[in-house]
């Protein structure tokens, strides 16, 4: 099996806030404990789903500390530290290490759209500065810049660059890198969980797992047991909820928090400029969630 340095079943955890908009550390601990108890062996904090652009540096570090306290050594903690500024990203990396993270999720610098040699230097500087292993976050739809396969292959030579959260929607490019490196590839798009795992992926970093952690873990269990038909059935069962949460025109943060709030689980509001989901959207999410749970 492919090496999975941070576990196989990872949740891109939302960041709970109080109704007043403050960081809800108690809620984060309760949510993290539930996710781990129901099948996650890793948690990614302060990623896209965790609203990293609108949380402060101090909040990011406090979140890592609180979740570490809640889950202990039952799960790995990967801290999102990527920014548009290399120096700032290095600072966040060092703070995450101090706070107790096991690894770092580092997205491509956004907006400035650096060329590939600059990207390579950016990731190399962060990996050199910190003692933690890195997962590169390739999501060109948000950053405007792809980490090209040849760049990935060169970066894989760094001993602390060990994994990729793959949201590039390029299965051919992914396979090219997987064939030529030891990078652990995590599906960052829920609809690709089984497909990428079947070709040698390490697992997933899932937004939808905020509400259905055990279901996505069961896909991996079925595949590992050799029951590929059951794995396919479970993946297909999740399609309706995946589509509503991830492809409805709303960010996954908004839909995940809407559903968690409706289920009485820690979430709270989103921070501006994001806006909460409307009632019709919430009703649709609940219906899809209940259908998935009843069918599982």
Enumerate residues 6+ apart whose C-beta is below 8 A from 12: 44, 47, 48, 49, 50, 188, 205, 206, 207, 209, 210, 252
205 is in an annotated binding site: yes
d(CA 143, CA 180): 25
CB burial readout 69-88, b (16+ within 10 A) else e:
ebbeeebbbbbbbbbeebee
**Cα 53 to Cα 46, 139, 191, 243, distances in angstroms:** 9, 15, 25, 24
Active-site residue identified among 60, 137, 186, 192: 137
143 is in an annotated binding site: no
Bridge partners of residue 45, in order along the sequence: 79
d(CA 205, CA 208): 9
Active-site residue identified among 165, 185, 197, 257: 165
165 is an active site residue: yes
Phi, then psi, of 93 in degrees rounded to 5:
-65, -45
60 is an active site residue: no
Bridge partners of residue 205, in order along the sequence: 10
Compute CA 120 distance to the chain's CA centroid, rounded to the nearest angstrom: 22
Q: Which of 111, 110, 101, 106 lies closest to 66 in space, CA to CA?
A: 101
For residues 114 and 101, is the Cβ–Cβ distance under 8 A? no
Any idea which residues carry the catalytic annotation?
Answer: 137, 165
Query: Annotated binding residues for pyruvate, as ranges?
Result: 49, 205
Binding residues are 49, 205
């Amino acid at each position: 099996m492919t090496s999975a340095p941070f576990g196989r079943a990872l949740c891109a955890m939302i960041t709970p806030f109080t109704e007043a908009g403050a960081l809800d550390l108690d809620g984060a601990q309760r949510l993290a404990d539930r996710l781990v108890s129901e099948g996650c062996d890793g948690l990614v904090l302060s990623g896209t789903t965790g609203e990293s652009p609108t949380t402060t540096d101090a909040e990011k570090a406090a979140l890592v500390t609180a979740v570490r306290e809640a889950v202990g050594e039952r799960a790995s903690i990967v801290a999102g530290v990527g920014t548009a500024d290399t120096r700032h990203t290095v600072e966040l990396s060092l703070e995450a290490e101090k706070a107790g993270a096991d690894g770092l999720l580092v997205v491509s610098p956004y907006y400035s759209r650096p060329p590939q040699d600059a990207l390579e230097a950016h990731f190399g500087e962060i990996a050199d500065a910190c003692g933690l292993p890195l997962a590169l976050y390739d999501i060109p739809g948000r950053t405007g810049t792809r980490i090209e396969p040849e760049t990935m292959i060169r970066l894989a030579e760094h001993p602390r660059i060990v994994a990729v959260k793959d949201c590039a929607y390029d299965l051919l490019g992914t396979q090219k890198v997987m064939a030529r490196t030891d990078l652990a590839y995590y599906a960052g798009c829920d609809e690709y969980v089984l497909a990428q795992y079947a070709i040698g992926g390490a697992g997933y970093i899932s937004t939808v797992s905020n509400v259905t952690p055990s279901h996505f873990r069961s896909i991996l269990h079925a595949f590992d047991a050799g029951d590929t038909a059951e794995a396919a059935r479970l993946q297909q069962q999740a399609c309706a909820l995946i589509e509503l949460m991830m492809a409805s025109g709303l960010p996954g943060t908004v839909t995940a928090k809407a559903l968690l709030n409706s289920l009485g689980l820690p979430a709270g509001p989103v921070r501006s400029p994001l806006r909460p989901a409307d009632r019709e959207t919430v009703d649709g999410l609940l219906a899809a969630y209940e259908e998935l749970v009843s069918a599982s």
